Structure 1
């Protein structure tokens, strides 16, 4: 019964009317949270459809706007952008064979083949239906696990939190794309940047080099906007636009009965796989579509159909995609640990609003906590309506060249950054981080671990210092606590399991030479 009461509180929060002052009309009662949820879902779909923008860059660009919004509405909008982008990414993957999101890579394999054979409508329809079902189930999973996980988290001390964050960073290294060494370098660079500024305990400047604008530390919005927002724009300007837009008619959007029967079990399996992997720290949600596709191909009676327009290759990965995107909120809302770069941005947005991420959010801000969860149900329904009837608009939008979009994005982003503190130096620093981020991308470094290291670095330092105070300066205080030691052992085992094959390959290469 508790969960029903909590969900009732969430729906009351989302449906609450707030008086908004409109010009020439005056104060008008409006469902602001519903409107912000719709804006988030619409913007998320838009940036999902436009390949090369992505939810990380978009959320960083919209962070300055959240200053003027109520905390609940701001986080509902940002969450809508994230899971809305998962919906939109499938449209681009199916129609243009360009994944709008990394998680839509698998959808493009069979989805675009279906489109080339005149079945684009069926592919889009089953992707939307599978995503809607998975999103609804994932929301139930979040609601069911929220209370027990929060109660468990309340038993954590500073040592346990420090060890949990270490484990989260290890997962980020293991699940990162490309080189493990480069991922670790990004983690450590993020941790280093988190220490910049005045030490609150000693009052000494750290790594400021006499540069006064960073004496209070590097502003999260400036770093995120530069490393992700501006750098992403620079990267996409150098990409040659080749869009294989399907010329055949889209056809009926509602799949046939036979197609629904073929897709029903893949949708269910994809939902389960995505929900489980989405909880993993270190961006486990990205693994969901790949794992689902591999599972469907392995258990299929006709695996040769995959890659040639198998509807199971669209249904399973798209369901896993959206389920993972939503269950990735579980570590953030219950433990205060962001599992990926988007959730790290959510931590930044919560901090901007004066909310401390962690299990106390449920007890101190229950309306925000349950309002965010229930808004996902409403958001999934909105996305179903936004995606299918408006498909013609999204197809036309895909024909707009990037060179016309990106100058507008940059101008509004600069205005947003300047509006935070009304300091021109903030814009200059953002441009500096943009050049640094662009250089890192060109050198093959993934910026997402850097942002995770930056966000978790401050929390890790705070918890480590508190743990050391409790143990009178001894590091044994972190290891002697059973749960803390267990988390560190798990982190070490996972890191060793990831590094050993790389070392073995390097050794074999040396002996071969």
Structure 2
């Protein structure tokens, strides 16, 4: 009952005219960004963070807008998957398998509508799971001491490569790079300068908002122009929508199953929406068997991955809000936003900032309803964005981010830092080194160091305190699993994903 009262209190925050307006703006911008191939929710949120700061928005308004962008980008990723057979981001790849064949049969509008409905169901059920699970997990996390938090932060790094099949060594290199950058500045404990080179602007360290915009937005501009600098992309035409209630009823059980699997995948740190999408599609294909037409335009082949990846996206908010450990790349960016607002995610967030966190949760319920209402009648408007030449669109997006950074810091040096991070991000992405671990290292590094020092101070330098409790032993066990499971399950998942991509390419040819 207490949780229900807090949620109702959150709706009183989210239903103000100002917050409704920002939820609508975020949902529209997110859908537009998600529709662009390759951008994805992490880049969308990173690009718009400076805008939120430069507009002087309150913490509630900023987070409501950016979480709506997050949800909208997950919705929008299906547009290019279905019409172009190009995933808007990695989780939307599975949607290509049946979405594009369905569009080639003249049912693009139906495919887009089904994906919107499945996305709504996945997001809605995941939000219910968030409301139920998050307060319980936050209460449990109050038992954590500095040793347990150090183990938890280690877990966040151990699961980064995760079951998604990313190169574990490159992930480790990126995480170490982020931790190294996090040490720049004045050591709070000793007062010593670390890697400042007597540059006054470095005494307080490097602002991770600048790093995020550089690594994501600037590097994305360079890559996007390099790969898609033509005069727009050729897409399948959009027919008049002829969706029946029978079509909706057919995909409803699929959406429910995909939502449950997706939410579980999202809550697991390091698994994320890609796993939720893949597992949901694979399970549905096996359940339906020969009765389905998977790979040939079966609506259930659209509903399963869309429900899965949207449920996983919202499920990833659970560890981020309750433990301060992001469950995905986008929640890592949102974590940076919270820290920049002097709000520390973790178990005390639900006590010290109850209005904020429950207002954001309520706004996500509202934002998903807005997205459903926007995406079905207005999908034609979003589709037109795919015809805009990237060489015009991407510089405008980057200009907005750059102006936002300057408005935030009023420092030309920060713009140079942003460009430097952009060039570094471009090189790292060409080397297939992930960027999210760098941001995570910058975000969690200071707190990880603080927890380690605090634990060793309590124990008079005895390192055994790090595994002295049952909670910390359990976390360390999960850390070991996170380090070694990718070598067992990673190759299997990579083969399955490669097979799915080859199937999609064969259908297109």
TM-score range with shorter-chain normalisation? over 0.9
Matched, 1:124 2:112: yes
Q: 1:251 aligns with which of 240, 243, 246?
A: 240
Structure-2 separation of matches of 1:42 and 1:477: 49
Contact 2:262-2:307 within 8 A present in 1 as well? yes
Contact 1:335-1:359 within 8 A present in 2 as well? yes
Matched, 1:71 2:59: yes
Q: What SS does structure 1 have at the residue aligned with 2:206?
A: coil
Summarize the alignment of residues 417-456 of structure 1 with structure 2, pairs less than 5 Å apart.
Answer: 417-456=405-444
Deviation at 1:135, TM superposition (A): 1.4
Matched, 1:310 2:298: yes
Deviation at 1:131, TM superposition (A): 1.1
Structure-2 separation of matches of 1:77 and 1:117: 37
Could you list the per-position Cα deviations for residues 426-451 of structure 1 after superposition, in whole angstroms to 9, with x for gaps in the alignment? 00111011111100011111112221
Q: Tell me the residue number matched to 1:8.
A: 8
Deviation at 1:284, TM superposition (A): 2.1
Contact 1:340-1:452 within 8 A present in 2 as well? no
Q: 1:207 aligns with which of 184, 192, 195?
A: 195
Contact 1:53-1:233 within 8 A present in 2 as well? no
Structure-1 separation of matches of 2:396 and 2:482: 44
| Uncovered stretches (5+) of structure 2, i.e. residues with no partner | 492-509
Q: Tell me the residue number matched to 2:211.
A: 223
Matched, 1:467 2:447: no
Deviation at 1:380, TM superposition (A): 0.7
Could you list the per-position Cα deviations for residues 49-84 of structure 1 after superposition, in whole angstroms to 9, with x for gaps in the alignment? 122332222222222233311111111111111111
Could you list the per-position Cα deviations for residues 300-341 of structure 1 after superposition, in whole angstroms to 9, with x for gaps in the alignment? 232772111111110111011111111111111111211122
Structure-2 separation of matches of 1:346 and 1:395: 27
Deviation at 1:32, TM superposition (A): 0.9
Structure-2 separation of matches of 1:135 and 1:176: 21
Summarize the alignment of residues 317-466 of structure 1 with structure 2, pairs less than 5 Å apart.
Answer: 317-466=305-454
TM-score, with structure 1 as normaliser? 0.91
Q: 1:489 aligns with which of 470, 477, 491?
A: 477
Q: Tell me the residue number matched to 2:501.
A: none
Structure-2 separation of matches of 1:91 and 1:497: 33
Deviation at 1:48, TM superposition (A): 0.7
Deviation at 1:139, TM superposition (A): 1.1
Structure-2 separation of matches of 1:79 and 1:308: 34
Q: Tell me the residue number matched to 2:136.
A: 148
Matched, 1:182 2:177: no
Q: 2:40 aligns with which of 54, 61, 67?
A: 54
CA RMSD of aligned residues (A): 1.8
| Uncovered stretches (5+) of structure 1, i.e. residues with no partner | 17-30, 504-513
TM-score, with structure 2 as normaliser? 0.92
Could you list the per-position Cα deviations for residues 152-203 of structure 1 after superposition, in whole angstroms to 9, with x for gaps in the alignment? 0111111111111111211112245532211111111111111111101111
Structure-2 separation of matches of 1:502 and 1:40: 35
Structure-1 separation of matches of 2:389 and 2:349: 43
| Distance change (3 Å), C-alpha of 1:374 and 1:148 | same
Deviation at 1:499, TM superposition (A): 4.1
Contact 2:33-2:40 within 8 A present in 1 as well? yes
Name the stretch that deviates more: 422-431 or 257-266.
257-266
Structure-2 separation of matches of 1:397 and 1:421: 32
Deviation at 1:351, TM superposition (A): 1.5
| Distance change (3 Å), C-alpha of 1:355 and 1:175 | same
Name the stretch that deviates more: 176-185 or 187-196.
176-185
